[in-house]
Structure 1
Amino acid sequence: MSELTFYEFFAGGGMARVGLGSGWRCLFANDLSPKKAAAYRANFGGDDLHVGDVHAVTPAMLPGRADLAWGSFPCQDLSLAGAKAGLAGARSGAFWGFWNAVLQLKAEGRAPKTLVLENVCGALTSRGGRDFASIGAALSDAGYRFGALVVDAALFLPQSRPRLFIVAIADDVEPPASAVDPAHGAPSAFRPKALHMAHAALGPAARKAWIWWRLSPPRVNVRALEDIVEDDPATAPWRAPHETEALLALMAPLHRARIESLKASQVRRVGAVYRRMRLDASGAKVQRAEARFDGVAGCLRTPAGGSSRQTLLVIENGVVRSRLMSAREAARLMGLDDAYALPSNYNDAYRLAGDGVAVPVVRFLAHELLEPLLGRGAAARRTA
């Protein structure tokens, strides 16, 4: 059986490529960042990689008719923590460069059979839902039928990372019944309230083109955060005791009391800490350190500032130690195995992970939805 083919836009370190797996062949990859491109080359070679602005991608660069075009376009202008410029912003507006390439392929009769757009869940509500509606209008106007799902990486990995996935099919792709939800979008973990509200705000043509995709909850034994922690990573040395104490001093009394309780238990516990701005009793903004010990890390972010990088707390034998999460730990939280070559610079490696798409989520979507849409369902794979 021949391989399925794909274009990987906004490729970063190639995490969509890793997730799709060996049954897929990359025809073209693109990223603007030379540092991410260097990591891509280190792991996959550079024969199919174009480094440059997505707006400059032409049909001549895109061979054949791909089964899939994957686009994890920049999230900064759609994020709740960002500038909220939406698709009009300089970064998230890169979507339109991707879309122009798709339209040019369509004009040549080579439109990709399926599309996946991945972004933060803020894309559902950005600019009052207008950005999501704009994407829906673009897809339906070009003859694509589409639907959306929210999948949290915590289903597969010890990281809380809910992300929006818009899955579209060309008009010559007929979805199997197994891929379509017979309940027509009944609420589920994959279809939160915000998705239903975004769907309701679509224009008439986009609503007509909408498909409620069906996914079955995965059955995965998820590793706990403590299972991916390195003992003494070179990229993230342990802090001095007084530095750890300064971090603990930033905690609210309830959080600090929990730390003391865990110290007294004499059981090894690993937690993740973020620094956040909170309001105190007087209404003034104060910096707080907040820890979670549920075996799951918070969502990885890019290391623009110290508060964007997670700190690990390890409590053992009544002693609390702290350090930044290492580059390899961040990669493990994205589902990359230890054979994946990371950039030598800590910030570059952490950014590569924080900007990526979780590998097992891509594999899940490929297995449960993309491959069946392209005629590679479970039965087809068994008889190949």
Structure 2
Amino acid sequence: MLDESRSNFSRLRERAGISVEALAPLVGYSPATVYRWERGESLPRQAALTVLEDLVRGRGGPELKEPAFRFIDLFAGIGGIRRGFEPFGGKCVFTSEWDRWAQTTYSANFPHDDHEITGDITKVKAEDIPEHDLLLAGFPCQPFSIAGVSKKNALGRAHGFADETQGTLFFDVARIIAEHRPKAFLLENVKNLVNHDRGHTFKVIMARLRDLGYHVPTPRVINAKGYVPQHRERILIAGFREECDFTFDDLDVPSPLNGPRLSSILHPEDGTETPERPFTGPDGRVSQKYVLTDHLWRYLQDYAAKHRAAGNGFGFGLVGPGDVARTLSARYYKDGSEILIDRGPENNPRRLTPRECARLMGFDRSGSPQFVIPVSDTQAYKQFGNSVAVPVIEAVARHMAPWITTKASLDVASEQERPQLFA
């Protein structure tokens, strides 16, 4: 009977052209519950089937037309910030991302959007952007990151607000906020934003946001290490149009000391996982193409030895299933040096596969469909390295939900109901 219900539920959902994440708030259940219906693990509620039937027939009711909140996704990348907010009933009404390969991945994972992805936000008039309750923006971090500043200093190029191609994109965020006056916003960037240019950059950003008339509580730096097996610190800046008692101080973040380990995201390579080409072969073992060549492995070892002798900390990061990885960066495609998987003393280490990167960043969760990776390995590494740790954003979204939702009946799932990290 479960199989028959699953077939009916899946067929109706596909005909309705709606994703599980978008359907969940409409029927008043968590995405995890709806995924159980999708997989046939439990019977779907009749009310949910009725909603799908109404969508297929084009009827719908008022509750189907009014999301809990509407948001825009700026500098969207592959949709990491969006994935954190959609489970709470949000509807994305505008997306901006200039990189064509990121657009490809974004479109593959949000195929039912009723809007096209806009490219260069600097060429978009603020008044042409739809009205929205929430603005989300992971504005480019390279001008402010430690690696980005070091590289640009070495090249004699400007960084921060002096970087005309990226640093000033914050002001595009500000002009859109000024035009639309959304109920709230959430901005994400690297931890080093606070210290860039001896704190001047951060002061300018905070002053500008507050000059717009927004209540901007003290931002918070969150390490994703409590959620995923990766050291990844990012700053979150929230703002609210109305004065409120929101604070990041009472956001309960799991201790980085007790977070998951790499074993939770690595391919088991023991035949228990369904093979996925090109990442794994028919036997489930990781493809040989991810193993470092003798030449590259020797180069990385010599490079690390040279810097150790000079008293520097540069070198590769060799890790195993019981470890936590360094920060995955957009340059991972070059040599994978920051996260190399130890394969024993007799074997060269290997890079993570893009599928493992999806798990490491929280895009793949237990009980959820796999994140679609339609691009080359090089592009996938860049995209995941530039993205956010989705579980962190989801935790922030849950914390912000009472101040941004417009539907009193919104059922926000508990931590126990939500899909957990891939295992």
How high is the TM-score relative to the length of structure 2?
A: 0.66
* Matched-pair contact (CA < 8 Å) for 1:241–1:321: yes
Q: What is the Cα deviation at residue 222 of structure 1?
A: 4.0
1:190 is matched with none
Which residue, 122, 137, 146 being the options, matches 1:55?
122
* Matched-pair contact (CA < 8 Å) for 1:302–1:308: no
Q: What is the Cα deviation at residue 311 of structure 1?
A: 4.2
Higher relative helix content:
2
1:263-302 equivalence runs, <5 A: 278=307, 280-281=309-310, 288-292=315-319, 295-302=323-330
1:155-166 equivalence runs, <5 A: 155-166=226-237
* 2:346 is equivalent to residue 319 of structure 1: yes
* 2:398 is equivalent to residue 371 of structure 1: no
Question: Structure 2 counterpart of 1:31, which letter?
Answer: E
How many equivalent pairs are there? Answer: 314
Percent identity over paired residues? 28
Q: What is the Cα deviation at residue 51 of structure 1?
A: 2.8
Deviations 1:20-67 (A, max 9, x none): 133211011101111111111111135324332111222343222x22
* 2:157 is equivalent to residue 130 of structure 1: no
Q: Secondary structure at the match of 2:91?
A: strand
* 2:225 is equivalent to residue 225 of structure 1: no
1:192 is matched with none
1:193-342 equivalence runs, <5 A: 213-218=249-254, 222-230=259-267, 231=269, 232-234=285-287, 236-240=289-293, 244=297, 247-248=300-301, 250-252=303-305, 278=307, 280-281=309-310, 288-292=315-319, 295-303=323-331, 306=334, 310-316=338-344, 319-337=346-364, 339-342=370-373
* Matched-pair contact (CA < 8 Å) for 1:367–1:377: no
* Matched-pair contact (CA < 8 Å) for 1:235–1:327: no
Q: Secondary structure at the match of 2:239?
A: strand
Instruction: Give the distance between the partners of 2:376 and 2:327, measured in 1 at CA.
Output: 21
Q: Secondary structure at the match of 1:78?
A: coil
* 2:80 is equivalent to residue 80 of structure 1: no
Q: Secondary structure at the match of 2:326?
A: coil
Instruction: Give the distance between the partners of 2:405 and 2:110, measured in 1 at CA.
Output: 27
* Matched-pair contact (CA < 8 Å) for 1:4–1:24: yes
1:111-130 equivalence runs, <5 A: 111-130=181-200
Q: Secondary structure at the match of 2:387?
A: coil
Q: What is the Cα deviation at residue 340 of structure 1?
A: 1.1
Question: Structure 2 counterpart of 1:69, which letter?
Answer: L
1:29 is matched with 95
Which residue, 366, 388, 391 being the options, matches 1:360?
391
Question: Structure 2 counterpart of 1:217, which letter?
Answer: V
2:78 is matched with 13
Instruction: Give the distance between the partners of 1:53 and 1:144, measured in 2 at CA.
Output: 26
1:104 is matched with 179
How high is the TM-score relative to the length of structure 1?
A: 0.72
Q: What is the Cα deviation at residue 87 of structure 1?
A: 2.2
* Matched-pair contact (CA < 8 Å) for 2:105–2:375: no
1:141 is matched with 211
Question: Structure 2 counterpart of 1:280, which letter?
Answer: A
Q: What is the Cα deviation at residue 358 of structure 1?
A: 1.1
Q: Which runs of 5 or more structure 2 residues have no equivalent in the other structure? A: 1-62, 153-157, 270-284, 414-423
2:37 is matched with none
Higher relative strand content:
1
Q: What is the Cα deviation at residue 96 of structure 1?
A: 1.1
Deviations 1:254-287 (A, max 9, x none): xxxxxxxxxxxxxxxxxxxxxxx83625x7x796
Instruction: Give the distance between the partners of 2:395 and 2:290, measured in 1 at CA.
Output: 35
Instruction: Give the distance between the partners of 2:91 and 2:100, measured in 1 at CA.
Output: 23
Change in Cα spacing, 1:367 to 1:343, as seen in structure 2 (3 Å) is: same
Change in Cα spacing, 1:243 to 1:7, as seen in structure 2 (3 Å) is: closer
Q: What is the Cα deviation at residue 354 of structure 1?
A: 0.7
Instruction: Give the distance between the partners of 1:373 and 1:134, measured in 2 at CA.
Output: 26
Instruction: Give the distance between the partners of 1:163 and 1:332, measured in 2 at CA.
Output: 18
Q: Secondary structure at the match of 2:394?
A: helix
Change in Cα spacing, 1:58 to 1:234, as seen in structure 2 (3 Å) is: farther
